[in-house]
Homo-oligomer: A and B are copies of this chain.
Amino acid sequence: MSSPIPVPTSPAPDILRCAYMELVVTDLARSREFYVDVLGLVVTEEDDEAIYLRSFEEFIHHNLVLRKGPVAAVAAFSFRVRSPEDVDAAEAFYTELGCPTDRRAGGFVKGIGDSLRVVDPLGFPYEFFYETTHVERLAWRYDLQSPGALVRLDHFNQVTPEVPRAVGFMESLGFRVTEDIRDDQGTVYAAWIRRKPTVHDTAMTGGDGPRMHHVAFATHEKHNIIAICDKLGALRLSDHIERGPGRHGVSNAFYLYLRDPDGHRVEIYTQDYYTGDPDNPLVSWDVHDNQRRDWWGNAVVPSWYTDASLVLDLEGNVQPVVKRAEPSELEETIGADGFSYTRKGETTEGFKLGHQL
């Protein structure tokens, strides 16, 4: 492992929650069709360059910005902090780490005020802000909601080569680990970390990075997620469905993974559990447990392991991707030498495991 990232003496900002992602898309009209016409996110504001979208229970200006650009990538993982002063704290924290930072009193996007953007020690573009325009919380506006209504931004998921190193850094930023995937040799394949008391605000997934694995929106119930699949089928867009729907082992949530027109991965997610107590028990999963990623043991398509979105630096250039040196979860669990089990200790492979994948 590379050397750990130092813990700044400057106190971490008090982060409330993941708040929005700024996504660069190559065809704004096509992305609008996907996020607005198909997924039904609410347009707070839009122009020729960008569309500002929110979920039905949100009262801040947006949870997603789609910005037209030449290369599909993530421009910012943005977190809301508890107070204006926490933006200062974030600036001091990252400055002490020697990270590139950019502070703009007027914000980087519409609807968001004083903001700090940084490239963090893991190579990800992060944003911190408190000030934001309040908009109508449409929770009660059932007349506007489709059968697959997205009600909350739930979490981000980031790909990084060294998960323990990333998690260590995120703990210094005030995050707590709720679940992880490990093996008996001590390799950590992924970890879920949170500020708000759900299973995560973001996760660190082992792989070539920095890349963005997915951004996740929550629905109220499982049938809402099924409705999204049904609608994609009706529109002959079912090839946007990459994986699921299914039940996660990790997080116990019901899930679906979609790919947007640029290949950005979007998860639809519902019903994880409360994690807000400081002694909330860590749940560790064996990488060979076939129910860790899908509680029903359904196959994870390889693209889900291998594909992810590029991320940008503060100048808008694509961040270089570093190879993961540690074992890959895909290879450990599928194919020649890898294996999964349904019941630990049983080695017989059924029709679900092995050559059919």
Contact = CB atoms under 8 A, between A and B. Distances in A.
A137 B273 contact: yes
A317 to B, nearest CB: 27
Interface stretch (A4-12, A95-103, A165-173, A224-232): A224-232
Nearest to A303: B351
Contacts of A142: 147, 227, 230-231, 233-234
Greatest chain B CB density within 10 A among A142, A278, A281, A291 is at: A142
A117 interface: no
A179 B149 CA distance: 23
Nearest to A227: B142
Interface string A246-263: 010100101000010000
A231 B297 contact: no
A303 B342 contact: no
Contact of A242 (B140, B141, B259, B352): B352
Given A147-B145, A241-B297, A278-B82, A303 B273 contact: no
A144 B233 CA distance: 12
Interface string A276-299: 111111000000001100011110
Q: Say whether chain A's binding surface is mostly helix, strand, loop, or mixed.
A: loop
B239 A152 contact: no
Nearest to A295: B233
Contacts of A245: 245
B273 A352 contact: no
A223 interface: yes
A351 B238 contact: no
A229 B247 contact: yes
A57 interface: yes
A222 interface: yes
B247 A233 contact: yes
Contact of A252 (B140, B229, B298): B140
A259 B352 CA distance: 11
A293 to B, nearest CB: 12
A179 to B, nearest CB: 11
B242 A230 contact: no
Nearest to A278: B82
A68 interface: no
Contacts of A237: 342
Interface of A: 16-17, 57, 59-60, 80, 82-83, 134, 137, 139-147, 149, 151-152, 196-197, 220-223, 226-227, 229-239, 241-242, 245, 247, 249, 252, 254, 259, 271, 273-274, 276-281, 290-291, 295-298, 301-303, 307, 342-343, 350-353, 356
The 8 A-B residue pairs with the shortest CB-CB distance, nearest first, are A238-B297, A142-B230, A233-B295, A142-B234, A143-B234, A303-B351, A239-B350, A57-B273
